Structure 1
Amino acid sequence: MPLQCTVAKNAFLDGLNSLQNITNKKGTMAILSNVLIEAQGNGLVLTGTDLEVGLRLFVPADIASSGNITLPSKKIFEIVRESGSESVTIEETENSWVVITAGHSTYNLAGMANDEYPEFPEYEDDNFVSFESHIFLDLIDKVIFSIASEQENIYSLTSVLFEKEKKEDGNYLRMISSDGHRLSIMEKDVAGEIDNLRLNPVTLIPKKGIQEWKKFCESRDSVEISFEEKQMVVRDNQAVMVIRLKQGEFPQYRAIVNAVQLENCARINRIPFLESLKRINLFTEDIFHTIQLKIDNDKMTLTSQNADLGNAKDVQPIEYTGTPLTLGFNCRYFLETLQVMECETVEAYINSNNSPCLIQSDVDKGFISIIMPMQL
């Protein structure tokens, strides 16, 4: 039977909005840019997938006639968003066309039959563990900025490494990301029982999956998660997301952390340091954003130079009693690290002029950032 239903605009819009990042990816299958709409029972089930991330969610609706169809995700979203009516009616006609009525407006939109639409991945219903959403939001915010881009040669660096660990003082979840030039680690003590999380020896979640996981958590107080060999599942009582895991190895990040001796420490006020970096970055070269840091006694001098524009210099007071240091760094790496921190004072540990810089604070518990130096 042809599909016919009426759905509240705001609820429909929220559901379609959740699918936009997934369905608007350019791919080889045209139907993946469509949203699958299934009218059944007392509502609509909306499904989108790019074969890496799949999202299925429920929207309450008045169903006059059950049915299935796929419609262009971006266009139906735009129609509903611009609608001046509080409700939207969809009626399927011949050859997968639909008539959409919203207030005084009527649209004829070409859809596609759902025959070619990929099956939503099946998953086991056991081993789900419930967590408060803010746990994952905090973990993701602290590592997402240093995931490697898709052009990275080391395939696994385009993902986040996810780990669990039982310590004497509690159960911990941990995320680690690196683009080869920097390393971000965030761990949190969690109240949930982590034994049921069946992680792989190396559990890699792709960047797209991390982005959608964050978006899923932003509108929810709590979520359930489960891991299988090739996928992870995030869900609540209204929606379920399946993320395909990546395979491969991840750098031995603990060795990198252990290589930095926590002795030569500079204590720096975070906000003034951040503002100084923004000023100095105005004169960095566009590709590498190289700056020079000179640390001596209780003073840090930041300089940058641009062959076409000129140069900049900024001086910041710090607490430091170690040997004088002169180092080169990518300014953007420091900016992005400091922006996700919340402390007043950061602790920067640097062993020598050619050593990486380890950044942490007493306030940002569980967070460590390591930034590799650059040749000046």
Structure 2
Amino acid sequence: MRPTRTAPVAARADQLVGSVIDSSTSLLAAQTHDVVRFAMGAPAAEVVPTELFREIASQIYTPDSFTYGATEGEPVLVHALLDYLAQTSEATSEERIVITSGGMQGLDLACKIYVDPGDVVIVESPTYTNGSATALSYGAELLEAPIDENGLIVEALPELVAAIGRTPKAIYTIPNFQNPSGTTLSLARRKALLELAHAWNAVIIDDDPYGLLRFTGEDIPGFRSLSPNDPLLFSVRTFSKILAPGLRVGWVDVDPSVRQLVINAKQAMDTCTNVPNQHIVAEFICRGGLDEHLAGLRNEYRTRKEAMLESIQRHLGGRVSTTDPDGGFFLWLTLRGDDARISTTALFETALAEGVAFIPGPALSPGGRFDDALRLCFASTTPERIEEGIIRLRRSLDLMREKV
């Protein structure tokens, strides 16, 4: 009889921590009862232009649509994207752009190129832990830095860095309507972060999936506007939040000196981004519908955010505090008073049984912090369902209070 053996995995396997966020998709699919889904950060299904995508596909698909494409992206999409961005504050050039398989591939490419085992990477706390997990997978040592209502507390970074005695190799930030908090990095802090990055020779991994989804307030200049042609900026963008995540199409904007490295690294991953979906996105942009589509999203998401805040006030009142974002997808809810003794990790199971799902705070911190907090996505749920979901959340809290 052959002896039992285990495969000799790489040392990095211990750092492949997975994603509670992504795992919730499978968990929710397995539920047989009605669940209000505040967990996944996905666009509302009803605002995805499905019929238009189907029409575009029927008109543009040819046998050539299903072959390999250029690693840097299909020319038709690159040019459509450049033309669109030329009308925004993120105007750029072809020698800076590489089309990616969603924003997550952009983060993976950044970490693959810049992060060596043992390098310090600063991450916001809380943060999008799929991003921090990517840095971990390349052996990074994560340094969690606090946030407040104005985003990453940049003025705290020098002391945090001094305490560990090493400067960071990279700084991972979500500057607009941050995931999970919904906060936006202020202009003063953006300038200060650029100064620190230059002093430390650290790359800013600028992850901005939500920047085009501001529904109130004034736009704040981005890092590239504040520091043009800066080789220490690696900007990650995606169509997942503004069109549909299933397309798996995004892009990175990098210094031209780095672009070939990005192409080389991507060729070792997937050769090219999904060619048919690139053509769908390109045609959608070329038809001139993106601005109107974004305007509709902003109106809808503002309505849903306001509905969620009003429902929270009605049903939870002083039991919680929340952020009030100017755009994006998320509210960050923190338990107060006696409810603060409740673990949101434990609350998740009760809430799921009661028919509402969210992401517990510890899932959004590499160190497992924020067990008194949770993330709610308002974007994917109608106001009527939001009301029902918050009622179920209150009921879940009431049940948990009986146990603590």
Which TM bucket (shorter chain)? under 0.3
RCO comparison, higher one (Cα < 8 Å, 6+): 2
Kindly indicate which of the two structures has a greater share of residues assigned to strand. Answer: 1
Structure number with larger C-alpha Rg: 1
Kindly indicate which of the two structures has a greater share of residues assigned to helix. Answer: 2
Question: TM-score, normalised on structure 2?
Answer: 0.26
Question: TM-score, normalised on structure 1?
Answer: 0.28
